[in-house]
Structure 1
Amino acid sequence: MIYAIIEASGKQIWIQPGCFYDINKIDAKPGEIIKLEKTLLINNNTEVFIGQPYLNNVNITGKVLKHLRGRKITIFKMKPKKNIRQKNGHRQELSRILIQTIEIVNN
């Protein structure tokens, strides 16, 4: 079982080939192949490679499946004794990517 930990959209994500993940929206159209550059760690059943801070000899490709919106978050602000109440909502724009390959390139 090969897996990697990458940095994407400000978060660290544990990924495996053949699985899909939701990250903050990226500028790519659905169906496009993207390359994920910031790899922090690779575990390849026999060896573990740790970057300082990133690994350079790794190719991770993914396919953008679709763009969607996350679940709604309600924000409620209130100031007591002032009769001020404010209710807002937010839905984060997300991109769903399918991880196709994780390859270690030997130099």
Structure 2
Amino acid sequence: MYAVIRTKGKQFKVQSGDELYLPTTEGEVGSKINFEEILAVGDGEKLTVGKPTVDGASVSGTIVSHGRGRKILLWKHIRRHNSKKKQGHRQGYTQVRIDEVKA
């Protein structure tokens, strides 16, 4: 069984045992997390699409870790002005393991 969930403005197709990298989410490592917005639920043969969410469906998971992604470098140069600027950015993430999908 799989489900399409919406969290932090993004949509993910998940099933039991999957591991997701979500934008930084509050919670301690090892704590449970429940996803409220279930957009669709399917089992391979039957698909239930919500209007806008599926009533009675739930997806739960466990927070595995918190971390930061690889560094992305930004380079800005304005020619003939001796102007250069280099910036770096690392996006935070939360790794979540999906434990259960209920329809």
Please tell me the residue identity of whatever aligns with 2:56.
N
Aligned to 1:34: 33
Deviation at 1:27, TM superposition (A): 0.7
Aligned to 1:70: 69
Aligned residues: 103
Q: Which has the higher strand share?
A: 1
Aligned to 1:84: 83
Please tell me the residue identity of whatever aligns with 1:69.
R
TM-score (norm 2): 0.92
1:1-107 matched pairs, under 5 angstroms: 2-104=1-103
Residues 2-47 of structure 1: CA deviation (Å, up to 9, x unaligned): 1111112221111111111100111110000010111111112231
Deviation at 1:68, TM superposition (A): 0.9
Percentage of pairs with the same residue: 28
Q: Which runs of 4+ in 1 moved over 2 A?
A: none
Q: Which runs of 5+ in 2 are unaligned?
A: none
